[in-house]
Amino acid sequence: MKKSIKIVETVLRDGHQSLAATRMRTEQMLPILEEMDQAGYYALECWGGATFDACLRYLNEDPWERLRQIRSVVKNTKLLMLLRGQNLLGYHNYPDDVVDAFIQKAVENGIDIFRIFDALNDVRNLETAIRAVKKYGAHAQGTLCYTISEVHTDAYYFNLVDQLLDLGVDSICLKDMAGILTPARAYSLVTGIKARTDLPVDIHTHATAGISEMTYLKAVEAGADIIDTAISPFSGGTSQPATESLHISLDELGYDDGLDTPLLEKIADYFAPIRDEFLEEGTINPKVMQTEPRALLYQVPGGMLSNLLSQLTEAGQEDKYDAVLKEVPRVREDLGFPPLVTPLSQMVGTQAVMNVLTGERYKMVPKEIKDYVKGLYGKSPAPIASDIRQQIIGQEEVLEGRPADRLDPGLEAARQESQDFAQSEEDVLSYVAFPAQAEHFLRKRQDPWYDVPVQNVSIEM
């Protein structure tokens, strides 16, 4: 009798976020959704992460309408979103009332599973979101952001698991955003997690460093219940390993993933020309599709690699790429070894770029880094050295406690501020998450002649 393994398909979110800067449009997704719904996936990851920002900022789309359209077609398969805990889909903490309302609307519009993470693995930043997901009857997947440092031991992760279990999560996700989870470490961590709980364990990694298939195999052998893959045209490089390849390999090893091989081929055939279009227009930089073993040294997520290259290219400083890669782990150590995941990946990456381009470390420091050092994002995994703290914030106070406890309720104020252009509670929540981008989009929706100002480019990692 075959053992069971479940597959989460990422092409509708992380697959194109990692390779194509989240530029896939809803109209490119809709024609294949019926086949994807019939293919046997456990879940389709289709929302969250950078998709919300990209819809409003670049694609002139309503992210809520995207979700509703996907849900209208996908009847049998669970829909999964990536939620940044108290950060929701943005880059800072939001008040508890906003978090609760956002999750309520996400459930109403079609999300079944919330993969909830905090960039610092500060469980205090997950509490409100997990409570809200449970309150509204959806599945709360508690997430461990995987990284490597002197403090990120197996015991560190097992302690996080225990805290998530205390909060009542429905499953555990080990999220390896940089593709640096080695096969041996995957086996060790999954074995330890499964010894603590009977809840499903989902492993998420990236193919960046060239070890992802081996990592998945050892994780599955250790008892992982779910793995994340991307259909082949949007697989490999900084994305996930290919769905079809793992499906065939695991089947021969005695695992039943429930997937339909002919339908997978049809799905791949559909997405291949979309990938080719992105390559031809330059949306996909071929470098992000290459294997990058240096990720194991620098622990830089694939999306961050592509964005750093993009930033430097735009500045005419592409030759500084290697220097910036070497500076990233130094900055990360200075800041207490934060995992490189949104928003910390953007912040650490930007600081590394500034350090290299100015030729003087911390001569220029973004406000976000200062806020992080002050404790506004949560507790750093390791203490920040006093000399680094002094250099960045001087004698300013370092705050203790859960960051969101300092925030006043924000939903009613947002309703008042957006009443001229928001037509629904979803519109209000879009405005709360991305005020400028949402206002421009919503005003343009009301009045096609509205002149949208030139918007700043966001950093997607």
pLDDT for residue 104: 98
Q: pLDDT tens-digit profile of 39-64?
A: 999 999 999 999 999 999 999 999 99
pLDDT, average across residues 29-35: 98
pLDDT for residue 295: 82
Q: Are the C-beta atoms of residues 344 and 338 closer than 8 Å to each other?
A: yes
Domains plus CATH for the chain?
3-286 (3.20.20.70), 300-404 (1.10.472.90), 412-460 (no CATH)
| Range among 87-91, 125-129, 319-323 with highest mean pLDDT value | 125-129
- What does the mean pLDDT of the chain come to? 93
pLDDT for residue 344: 87
Structure tokens at 137: 């009857």
pLDDT for residue 458: 44
Residue 259 has pLDDT above 50, yes or no: yes
pTM: 0.93
Question: What percent of the chain has a predicted confidence (pLDDT) above 70?
Answer: 97
| Range among 268-277, 392-401, 446-455 with highest mean pLDDT value | 268-277
Q: pLDDT tens-digit profile of 148-184?
A: 999 999 999 999 999 999 999 999 999 999 899 999 9
Token pair 């008040």: residue? 95
- Longest CA–CA span in the chain (Å) reads 64
Better-scored residue on pLDDT, 334 or 296: 334
Range name among 340-344, 417-421, 435-439 with the lowest pLDDT average: 340-344
pLDDT for residue 460: 42
Range name among 177-191, 246-260, 284-298 with the lowest pLDDT average: 284-298
